[in-house]
Chain A
Amino acid sequence: MPENHEESKIVRVSNVTKNFHMGKMEVQVLKGINLDITAGRYISIMGPSGSGKSTLFNMIGGLDKPTSGQVFIDEVDIAQLDAYELAWLRCRKIGYIFQTFNLIPLMTALENVTLPMTFAGVNSDDANDRGMTLLKMVGLESRYNHKPSELSGGQQQRVAAARALANDPGIILADEPTGNLDLRTGEEIISLLQQLSQEKNITIISATHDFKMLNVSDQVVWIRDGQVDKIENRDELSISLGEISIGNRH
């Protein structure tokens, strides 16, 4: 991929390790990860459970601090950021989508989508307008006044996707976004994410073990035992996983 060297690296992970204390034992979950992610691509982080992919994902999102090493987002080391800057980063730069949706249970779909805009200082009228536009985009404009408990899993995840887009982030982090969804709704979410990466040039980083994700990924990072096992681009991928991905390539 020589032509990609000139493109900007939106995320750079450098020698990141992470230890967890399990009682008296100290377990090293990440053992020195190096990773460059180019802006505008769709990246899947794959690996068996326990491989450390969720931990890596949390490091990239600034949701947890590495034991050693650095994570750069737009060439800023996020360990150097204070609470205000970190909040700003989470609010403006990164949109999160979780396996468990994590909508605020008491708020309606529209309120969930507008909450990040409130934090960003957008006034309520503008936020509501934009919130409705985003809900329309995910096909839920008619259900704007429903609480999460009144929505199906797929609908909740689509609201979560709209919320992730609220402040026009450069990066969307999706942690097992299809993990709690059935096959069909999972595919809907995947194609929504793909559409976002293509139309809005948003970098999508998704931790997953859903093989359906591979078909739409520009790049797949395989994690094994806390280390990067291999990084494959889409064209290499179709060779190594031929039968699985051929049907859906376009």
Chain B
Amino acid sequence: MENNTSFLRQKKQLTRHHVVMPFTKSVGIAFRSIKARFLRSIITTISLVLAVSFLCFTQVTSDIANSLASLENADLQRKLTAAGYDPAPDTKEETTQTNKWAIKNSPKQKWIVSLSLLVCVVGIVNAQLMAVTERFREIGTMKCLGALNHFIVRLFMLEALMEGGAGASAGAVFGALFALLTSFFQYGSTVIYTLPLQDILLSMGKAFITGCILSLAGVIYPVIVAARMEPVEAMRMEN
């Protein structure tokens, strides 16, 4: 009995290194899988692009409004008020002097942004569930050929990360551009001179990272379910 367990342990150490999936290979397979299902990937990604660009748009718009407000130009402040901001210093802030003209996102705006992100996650989970379900047979086959659960998870996570990365960067760029354009038409050319480049880049970065996280969050549940299935179950599911 003791012999037997030590034999098993020995064998385990031997076999542990015998089933492998090189990272570059996973990246290659994930990339080609996206390329081959381009249309579907685009559709999955579009909801992400929209949500991220909306997030980025609101952030960048308020960045710009902030920098305009700090100019303390009466004409601009009138326009800002017309646009729904409240640049007039309130009594509490007057005493502190610092950040006098700071414009905070209104609660309503935050509410809308978080709602749009929530809708986006639901959309992604749905799209990924479909995408994973239609590949159950492929997953089962790979497991028959010796793939470990985490090969499968890694493959789908990489795909989600690539889609998410592409979608989120497109979203961040669209959102920022759109914010710049609307601000330009609303407040005139002053926008260009006072452009808070650093803040805008920071907002874009935040929106990008949020997008990537959302994309990963959307795929993680369906793929773990799929990877844990016995190969036979996975192959039977689709029939």
Q: Which residues of A contact B (CB under 8 A)?
A: 58, 61, 63-65, 80, 82-85, 87-88, 90-92, 96, 98, 100, 102-106, 115-116, 118-121, 163
Contacts and interface: CB of A to CB of B under 8 A. Distances in A.
B232 A119 contact: no
A92 B19 CA distance: 9
Contacts of B141: 98, 102-104
Interface stretch (B93-101, B146-154, B165-173): B146-154
Contacts of A85: 11-12, 15
Given A105-B138, A119-B19, A83 B235 contact: no
20 contacts: A61-B144, A63-B144, A64-B230, A64-B231, A84-B16, A85-B12, A87-B146, A88-B19, A90-B145, A90-B146, A90-B231, A91-B19, A98-B235, A103-B141, A105-B138, A106-B33, A118-B21, A118-B25, A120-B20, A163-B145
B25 A87 contact: no
A84 B235 contact: no
Nearest to A64: B232
A128 to B, nearest CB: 13
Interface string B133-146: 00001101111111
A61 B146 CA distance: 12
B32 interface: yes
A63 B138 contact: no
Contacts of A63: 144, 230-232
Given A84-B16, A91-B19, A106-B36, A96 B232 contact: no
B8 interface: yes
B84 interface: no
A106 B40 CA distance: 15
B77 to A, nearest CB: 58
Contacts of B231: 63-64, 90
Nearest to A85: B15
A118 B16 CA distance: 15
Interface in B74-97: none
A90 B141 CA distance: 11
A91 B18 contact: yes
B107 interface: no
Interface string B1-36: 000000010011001111111100100010011001
Contacts of B8: 80
Interface string B214-239: 00000000000000001111010000
A64 B231 CA distance: 7
Nearest to B138: A104
Given A63-B144, A115-B145, A102 B18 contact: no
Contacts of A83: 148-149
A87 B147 CA distance: 6
B79 to A, nearest CB: 54
B91 to A, nearest CB: 65
Contacts of B17: 121
Given A84-B19, A85-B12, A119-B20, A58 B145 contact: no
A82 B12 contact: yes
B19 A120 contact: yes
B146 A116 contact: yes
B146 A119 contact: yes
Nearest to B22: A118
A91 B145 contact: yes
B232 A58 contact: yes
A186 B138 CA distance: 24
Contacts of B145: 90-91, 96, 115-116, 119, 163
Given A96-B144, A120-B18, 7 more contacts: A65-B230, A91-B145, A92-B146, A98-B235, A102-B235, A116-B145, A116-B146
Contacts of A118: 20-22, 25
A115 B233 CA distance: 21
B21 A119 contact: yes
A87 B148 CA distance: 6
A84 B146 contact: no
Interface in B101-125: none
A22 B38 CA distance: 39
Most buried by A among B17, B20, B140: B20
Contacts of B29: 106
A65 B231 CA distance: 11
A152 B232 CA distance: 25
A92 B18 contact: yes
Contacts of A87: 19, 143, 146-148
